[in-house]
Amino acid sequence: MKGMMLTLAAAVTTVAVAAPAEAQRWRPNAWHTVGYTTVNGRDSDTINVRGTARSRQMRVCVFNGPIQMRDLDVRYRNGAKQDINVRKLMRAGTCTRNIDLAGNRRDVTRVRMKYAPLARGWVRPLVRVQVR
């Protein structure tokens, strides 16, 4: 009986550890968050992207409060850059359109976002950059 309980406990522990690893696996067509920042009243922020994942699309999502997104300056590992006009009022919980990155599959190293925060008071919008 004691042996059966130990075996059962080991099996439950194995499943509990394996499930989070599966959830974090890189899926090529899924959106992956590569960086985020909290808007603190400035008119621009830069997110440095770690790693060497090749991406074909990007989007920016906003949480906690609205912002007026102006444009994005995207830098790639090979030194090239892409300026993307967004010009959109983004409410909390919304994302930009799916933005095609110039070239085939690009390695994004830095994203500079220019915006105007609209929220007043204690709420600070959270901006998240995702690629796939």
Closest CA to 81 of 55, 108, 60, 61: 108
**C-beta of residue 115 within 8 angstroms of C-beta of residue 67:** yes
Q: Could you state, in order of their start, the residue ranges of all structural domains in the chain? A: 28-131
Supply the pTM of this predicted model. 0.74
Task: Considering only residues 50 and 20, tell me which one the structure prediction assigns the higher pLDDT.
Answer: 50
CATH 3.40.50.150 for domain 28-131:
no
pLDDT tens digits for range 77-122: 999 999 999 999 999 999 999 999 998 888 999 999 999 877 567 7
Confidence of residue 41 (pLDDT cuts 50, 70, 90): confident
Residue identified by tokens 């439950």 is 12
pLDDT tens digits for range 47-59: 999 888 889 999 9
79: left (phi over 0), alpha (psi -120 to 50) or beta: left
AA letter at 40: N
Q: How is residue 42 written in tokens? A: 């400035």
